Amino acid sequence: MIGHGKMGSSLLAQWSGMAGDNLPEHRFFVVDPAASAGVDTERVTFLSAPPPVADSAFDLVIVAVKPQVIDAVAPDYAPRLAQGGFVASIAAGYPIARLSALVGGVPVVRIMPNLPAAIGAGVSGLCAAPSASAAQRNAITALMEAAGTVVWVDDEDKLDRLTAVAGSGPGYVFEIARTYVAAAEALGFSTDEARQLVLGTMAGTIAMAQGSDESLETLRTSVTSKNGTTAAGLEALNGDDGLSTRMRATIDAAYRRAIELR
C-alpha cells in the first residue's frame, strides 16, 4: 500500500484484523514516511521508502495517496510487481488508463470505498480495466468484502455516479442526523438524550428496511396513521416535495464534482 491516510489505514485495519481472518495468506507492506504504527499485527510491515527492486515481488499495489502525487510516485512500483501483479487505487477521480500507463500497462482496478469501511460496514464501488483477469477481480473482491459490501460497475462514469451516492453518502447521513438531533434538542431534550433517540431510531429503522422485502414507500405508509403525528411530521418534511428535490440536487452536485476531478 502506497500511503497510509485515513481511508487506507481504515481498510488496512480491516484486512489485517479480525475481518481479515478470511485472508490468512495475505501479508501487507505500507510505504509511507509518516506511518510507523497504528496496526498491531505481524502481517503488516511499515516502510519509509519503497523496498529495493530485487527484494520486491508484490502481487498487488494499492495506491492510497492523494491524486495529485500519483504521477510522481506510481512509476516507482512498476518494476516491483510480480508477474501477473496488478494495481488498485482508492484515489478519487484518477482514471484507470492514466494510472495503468504509469505502471507499465498492468491491469488497474479503481475502488471507491466509503467511510463505514472503517468498521467493516462500508459500501465500495469497483471498476476494472478490461485487461483485469477473473482471478484479479476475485482477489480485490475478497479484500473489499472484508470491509463491507462490494458493488462492481462496468465503467468509470458509473463509478463517479456511485461516488455521488455511496462514496459521499455518509456525509449526507451525518448531516441529516445532525439536523435531526438539533431539532430534538430544540424540543427540550439534552444533547445526549437527543443523540440516543435519533441514532437509535435511525439504526433501528434502517435495520428494519434491510430485513424487509417491502418498498420503502410501503414501510413508510405502514407507520403513518391517517391524521396522526407521523402524517403531520411527514407533511412538514416533504409535503411540497422539497426534501426529494434537495436530495436529487445534492447527489447531482456531487456527481458534477466527480466529473470535474477526472
Same domain, 95 and 220: no
199 and 242 fall within a common domain: yes
- Structural domain of residue 255, as residue ranges? 169-260
Q: Are 109 and 25 part of one and the same domain?
A: yes
7-95-108 Cα angle (round to 5): 75
Residue 183 maps to which CATH number?
1.10.3730.10
Q: Is residue 1 part of a domain?
A: no
Q: What secondary structure does DSSP assign to 79-118, as a single string? A: GGEEEEEEEEE--TT--HHHHHHHTTT--EEEEE--GGGG
Question: What CATH number has the domain bearing residue 109?
Answer: 3.40.50.720
Whether 36 has a pLDDT exceeding 70, the answer reads no
Q: pTM of the full predicted structure?
A: 0.89
Clarify whether residues 158 and 106 are in a common domain.
Answer: yes
CA–CA distance, 159 with 235 (Å, rounded to integer): 35
134 with 213, same domain? no
The answer on 151 and 53 residing in a single domain is yes
pLDDT tens-digit series, residues 77-136: 999 999 999 999 999 889 999 999 999 999 999 999 999 999 999 999 999 999 999 999
User: Comparing C-alpha atoms, which of 115, 118, 119, 123 is closest to residue 153?
Assistant: 123
| Overall number of domains in the chain | 2
pLDDT in tens, 203-250: 999 999 999 999 999 999 999 999 999 999 999 999 999 999 999 999
User: Domain boundary at 167, 195, 211, which?
Assistant: 167
| Of 167, 200, 222, the domain-final residue | 167
One domain, residues 69 and 156: yes
